[in-house]
Structure 1
């Protein structure tokens, strides 16, 4: 079963970029795909997550925001093996 993660981001957000870079090794380790969505391109996402980005989601489950919690994310993803 493929794991599909969503990273809510902004193009000018250094924390967003940092999370995307930090997430890459975990995504590779767990064969997860990561879709990066720009909250500024979607009014509904912007209204909901405006100041919270970056936010890492698996479906509707929020895994972390602002910085990647590597231990929590790894533990969560390990549950799908």
Structure 2
């Protein structure tokens, strides 16, 4: 069986956001299980990101595809991390 290529997740969040922290904590087991990488970006550091994601944070993106916001959609994230191809 061939290993799947590692996926890259991007979590758009805010430092003071409790939903963002909850999503990040909930993602940790999935990141470990699939060997994915997780990049956390503070939207408040970039006005363009504030304009795009402001009231939606946390927003989770996998290689350009938005998977969920506010709460982790574990099934959707698991499916994205498990799909073949990169």
In 1, Cα distance between equivalents of 2:76 and 2:6: 19
Do 2:62 and 2:80's aligned partners in 1 also have CA atoms closer than 8 Å?
Answer: no
Show the counterpart of 2:77: 73
How many residues are treated as equivalent by the alignment?
81
Q: Which TM-score applies when normalising by structure 2?
A: 0.89
RMSD value over aligned CA atoms?
1.2
Give the unaligned 5+ runs of structure 1.
none
Q: Which structure has the greater CA radius of gyration?
A: 2
State yes or no: 1:24 paired with 2:23. no
Show the counterpart of 1:35: 39
Moved more, 68-77 or 22-31: 68-77
Q: Which TM-score applies when normalising by structure 1?
A: 0.94
1:34-72 per-position Cα deviation (integer Å, ceiling 9, x unaligned): 000000001111110000000000122001000001111
In 2, Cα distance between equivalents of 1:59 and 1:71: 17
